[in-house]
Structure 1
Amino acid sequence: MTAVRSRPRFVFSTALAGALLCATTACGSSTSAETAEVGEQKTTWEEPTSYTYTLTSTTQVLAGTFRVQVRDGRVTEAVGTDADSRRQAQEVPDELPTIGELLKRLSQARSDNADTTEAAYADDGHPVRISLDWDKNAIDDEALYVISAYDPTAG
């Protein structure tokens, strides 16, 4: 008989990601996603120089939902969707990434052999969810990024 261990934090993170993706879909996003496991590259998407997107982030440094504007490959404006997110956007603006920077974090985590490096991609190839956990036994090193309302024409 095989013993099964419950990983509450992983289960919570997975449930949160699922809820956020469902909420995103319910809000009018019609992107379908597929999951890429460690080492797989499921996309050939190239980041445009200008676009907008909504980022929901749960990390130690950045937690909340932000509407992000990227111009010439750099974040030029970020607005939080609630009071706490607005405060964070003002206090730590350098922590708000472009989608390309999120993909670099995913690639770095894979290079570092992180315990969890998962991503889901939309039909056009841009990521819609990135989940990272460098050490499953460490506390507070997880990161979950949910990308929605991506608009490459808002440049």
Structure 2
Amino acid sequence: MMVGRSHARVLSTGVLIGTLVCLTTACAAESSTSSAIAKGSKNGKVQGTTTWEEPASYVYTLTSTTDVLAGTFRVEVRNGSVTKVVGLDDDSRRQVEQHAEVPTIGGLLKRLEQARSDNAETAEAEYAADGHPVRVSLDWDKNAVDDEALYVISAYAPASAS
């Protein structure tokens, strides 16, 4: 009987060590495009910040799902201001024709900070490895149906200021 118990103990120890190795490996294999998530809300979640500094000129694609701005837009920013917006779907093309205000990435980060200052229910951002935000999610009041905002940033590329 002693041999059976010893064998079971060794097997259990091996399974435990194998599980820990797998968990450690999974944690280390985190994707670089979602390297950090910063959250802020009434519920005491951690509020994070990024060290990314908005360049004067860049391009990016914004997919927005808000009551005010909906659709996918290709945005060009020069000297800190939006200079060109192209709608990439029917909703966004219609909004471009109606001169909808499409924010810079810095403008989105200001909205995030304002939501945190206003103690919004949800004020979250996910950042790429270089520090620029790739997703901003806002909800001032979980019981309201028209105040949620989700901004997804893709195809970001810094450009020369000229």
Which range, TM-score by smaller chain?
A: 0.7 to 0.9
The unaligned stretches of length 5 or more in structure 1 are 1-29
5+ residue gaps, structure 2, are 1-31, 41-45
Equivalent position to 1:74, from 78, 81, 86: 81
Residue number in structure 1 paired with 2:72: 65
Task: Select which of 37, 47, 52 maps to 1:35.
Answer: 37
3-state DSSP class of the match of 2:107? helix
Cross-structure match for 1:131: 137
Match of 2:128 among 122, 131, 134: 122
Q: Which residue is 1:150 aligned to?
A: 156
How many residues are aligned here? 125
Looking at structure 2, the residues matched to 33 and 80 of structure 1 have their Cα atoms a distance apart, in angstroms, of 29
- Give the Å deviation of 1:34: 2.1
The percent identity for this pair of structures is 70
Q: Which residue of 1 aligns with 2:119?
A: 113
Quote how far apart the aligned CAs of 1:127 are. 0.3
- Compute the displacement of 1:40 (Å): 2.0
Aligned to 2:11: none
Runs of 4+ aligned residues of structure 1 deviating over 3 Å after TM superposition are none
TM-superposed CA distance for 1:35, in Å, is: 1.2
Provide the alpha-carbon RMSD of the alignment. 1.4
Instruction: Report if the CA contact (8 A) 1:52-1:154 is conserved.
Output: no
- Code of the aligned partner of 1:77: K
